[in-house]
Amino acid sequence: MSTDAPFNAPTKPESTLGKRLRNFLIVIVAIALSAALFLGLRTQTTSVSLTELDAASTPLEVAVSNNKPSLVEFYADWCTVCQKMAPDIAELKQQYADKLNFVMLNVDNNKWLPEMLKYRVDGIPHFVFLGKQGEGIAEAIGDIPRSIMASNLEALVNGSPLPYAQMSGKTSKFSAPVSTNSQDDPRSHGG
């Protein structure tokens, strides 16, 4: 026989206790890291959606009659530029909520077809700046930087000329459905 430790030697009680303690600590650390990761991901996904902005927006009928200037945004849920701008619009809404109406009109809703035709919406996002009496003052189309939009809103609230009126940025193409009249023109004699 050799002088090495016997093959079936009993394990030391300290090593079993040490392994259990180590495994227990690994489990606790894994649970803590999982919880931190879960909570970290939840707090980073607080981006505002267009649907939430629409639900919290002022109805158009109220906006044109409550003697406050308004920002009307024509948008669509599928519009990537609209989605990109949503957090900026949400921040601006928080900043100007007491001085300004924010109106969201979804171009996929045929209810807004008269307004789309009135403001000639052919790209989205399409912003219309309305005065206190609901009159159109200026328009901006496309991806507008937050600082430029804030300058326009500040001027709108103060009743001064908008510094960046009639702007056009990157847009998503949109074609408004056109209503056709099925009646023949009486001058066409049915031709």
Q: What is the pLDDT of residue 108?
A: 94
Strand order in the sheet with 167-168: 101-106, 70-75, 126-130, 136-141, 167-168
Out of 72, 79, 89, 105, the active site residue is 79
Q: What is the pLDDT of residue 16?
A: 83
79 is catalytic: yes
Give the amino acid at 35.
A
Out of 60, 72, 81, 82, the active site residue is 82
Q: What is the pLDDT of residue 44?
A: 47
Q: What is the pLDDT of residue 111?
A: 94
Q: What is the pLDDT of residue 191?
A: 47
Residue 168 token pair: 């056009």
CA-derived radius of gyration, the chain:
31
Reported in sequence order, the residue ranges of the chain that DSSP labels E, i.e. its strands, are 70-75, 101-106, 123-124, 126-130, 136-141, 167-168, 172-173
Q: Which residues in the chain show pLDDT less than 50? A: 44-46, 167-170, 180, 182, 185-191
106 neighbors 77 (Cβ within 8 angstroms) = yes
Residue 4 token pair: 């090495």
**What are the Cα distances from residue 33, in Å, to 27, 36, 38, 42?**
10, 5, 8, 14
Indicate yes or no: pTM above 0.85.
no
